[in-house]
Amino acid sequence: MVKKKLTGIIVSDKSQKTVVVKVERIKEHPKYKRRYRVSKKYKAHCESDGYKVGDKIVIEECKPISKDKKWQVVEKLASSEKIIEPAIVDLAPEEEIKEVEKTEETKE
């Protein structure tokens, strides 16, 4: 029997050896023929901690590991690298601050 494979994005990695994967598929309305997205979340077993939120992975059907876990992670297709740029702040010298305060006082 062939095992089912699904591709999805990790939504949560808070549990030990478990990730929650969101799998989206496109469904068509039977009468109006409009296509729309349907998503479902699966809990998948993973031995390593190399998976983070936002990673695109492939999960495969396996024997039940727990009540909710019936899938296991097979491979990582793409990783999410969230680059946080530090805020650039120009610190003005004290003289410029005093000039700004003086101009605000004269406007009032």
Residue 21 inside a domain? The answer is yes
Backbone angles phi, psi at 61, to 5 degrees: -65, 140
Residue 93 lies in a domain: no
Mean pLDDT, the chain, rounded, equals 85
Looking from the CA of 82 toward its CB, the CA atoms found within 13 Å total: 5
Q: What is the pLDDT of residue 48?
A: 87
What pLDDT is stored for residue 81 in this prediction? 72
Spatial contact of 44 and 21, defined as CB atoms under 8 Å apart: yes
- pLDDT digits 0-9 by tens, 51-100: 999 999 999 999 999 999 999 999 999 988 754 445 455 555 566 666 66
Q: Is residue 48 part of a domain?
A: yes
Domain presence at residue 71: yes
Q: Which two tokens stand for residue 7?
A: 């591709």
Q: How many other CB atoms sit within 10 Å of the CB of residue 8?
A: 24
In a domain, 66, yes or no: yes
Count: domains in the chain? 1
Do the beta carbons of residue 72 and residue 45 sit within 8 Å? Answer: yes
CATH assignment at residue 32 = 2.40.50.140
Domain extent at residue 69: 5-78
The pLDDT-based confidence of 1 (bands split at 50, 70, 90) is: confident
Helix (H) or strand (E) holding 100: helix 94-107
